[in-house]
Amino acid sequence: MDKYIVNPWEVKGDIDYSKLIKEFGTEAINESLLKRIQKHTKELHPFLRRKIFFSHRDLNWLLDEYEKGNKFFLYTGRAPSGPIHIGHLIPWMFTKWLQDKFGAELWFQFPDEEKFLFKENLTLEDTKRFTYDNMLDVIALGFKVNKTKFLVDTVHAGVMYKEAVRVAKKITFSTVKASFGFDNQNNIGSIFYTAMQAVPAFLPSVLKKKNIPCLIPLGVDQDPHFRLTRDVIHKLGYYKPAIIHCRFLPGLGGMEKGKMSASDASTVIYTTDDEKTVRNKIMKYAFSGGQATIEEHRKKGGNPDIDVSYQWLTFFEENDKRLEEIYHSYKSGKLLTGELKQILVDKLNKFLKEHQKKREKAKKEIDKFMFKV
């Protein structure tokens, strides 16, 4: 049984992404849509070429509007609950690319009440601390300061709450129960929460007093919030936001365990891990598609499709040719597991070294990214 779970509160199991498209009622990103995107961006981001972003809602409509001169803004977010790991970065790296290619404004939400409401042991002081910590990783990715606005729910409640109640009035308890599997034990804050996550999808339209199209890049687990949001804000007179969904970076322990999860430190690479830690974790924990002995590996070859190090390279090695070489070389048995792991270690450490430098610099920039009412 290939059982898997994908919703905003839980991601588990070996996810069948084409099934998910049917279950969620989204559309696959096909070749003609890729061509259409490429017309505007010249090149395609590796995440598009490799179907890491694999699904969407209303992207064709968004491009229709764009081609008519009706520019869109981007919206994504992060509920602070702990340090950032490299899996979190995937949708944001892509969002940064979209910002550059389309010259789009980005609204980045930090719902600092979300994980406080949903997790037993997290205080508002904890989430506040993580908000500022997590902002450093977002800024480090290179978003344009004059085109990026950070919204923090408890800080910007003044502008957000009025819009959130308009949304909340149009969502019944039974809808939320059905969408998220809530029951009578859920606290009332968690029941209201979706209304807050809906707000940035139309807040720019409210502030600029005109309807502006919105595109939301996200991990596919967040889609249920926006299924509700799309219906409701349409009723309020705003465009339904377009959405583009990505797959999850698997944890070090392997694909069948679902996404990288911060609750299991041995499956995670944090953005602040040093070179040695990265090396140790990968050498020790990265699930391998290799054979038990070198002789056997040389004879039968490895299986890159289940090998976590190879799978991670599909996210982090931008060069298609190089990636293909690694694939074949591992599959044929020429490349050993230890060697494959070393390629990944070098790649990640190079990336993280840069990231950590920029993250340090970001400490002075947080205030410039904050939305000023």
The residues binding ligand TRP (CB under 6 A) are: 8, 75-79, 109, 111, 114, 197, 216, 218, 222
CB distance 38 to 224 below 8 Å: no
CB of 157 to ligand TRP, least distance (A): 15
Toward ligand TRP, which CB reaches closer, 104 or 344?
104
Rounded least distance, CB 345 to ligand TRP, Å: 28
Q: Which is nearer to ligand TRP, 109 or 271 (CB)?
A: 109
Between 222 and 261, name the residue whose CB sits nearer to ligand TRP: 222
d(CA 58, CA 48): 16
The angle subtended at Cα 67 by Cα 197 and Cα 209, nearest 5°, is: 45
Task: Round to whole Å and give the CA distance between 5 and 168.
Answer: 26
Compute the least distance from the CB of residue 32 to ligand TRP, in Å: 26
Compute the least distance from the CB of residue 49 to ligand TRP, in Å: 22
Q: Which phi and psi angles does 280 have, rounded to 5°? A: -60, -45
Question: Which residue has tokens 């709450």?
Answer: 161
- Indicate the SS3 state at residue 21: helix
Q: For ligand TRP, give the closer residue by CB, 7 or 356.
A: 7
Query: Looking at beta carbons only, is 243 or 282 nearer to ligand TRP?
Result: 243
φ/ψ bin of 350: left (φ > 0), alpha (ψ from -120 to 50), beta (otherwise): alpha
Closest approach, Cβ 75 to ligand TRP, in A, equals 6
> Nearer Cβ to ligand TRP, position 108 or 316?
108
CA distances in angstroms from 270 to 83, 88, 109, 274, 278, listed in the order given: 7, 10, 21, 9, 9
Q: Are strands 214-219 and 242-246 parallel, antiparallel or unpaired?
A: parallel
Residue with the shortest CB distance to ligand TRP: 77
Phi-psi region of 211 (alpha: psi -120 to 50; beta: other; left: phi over 0): beta
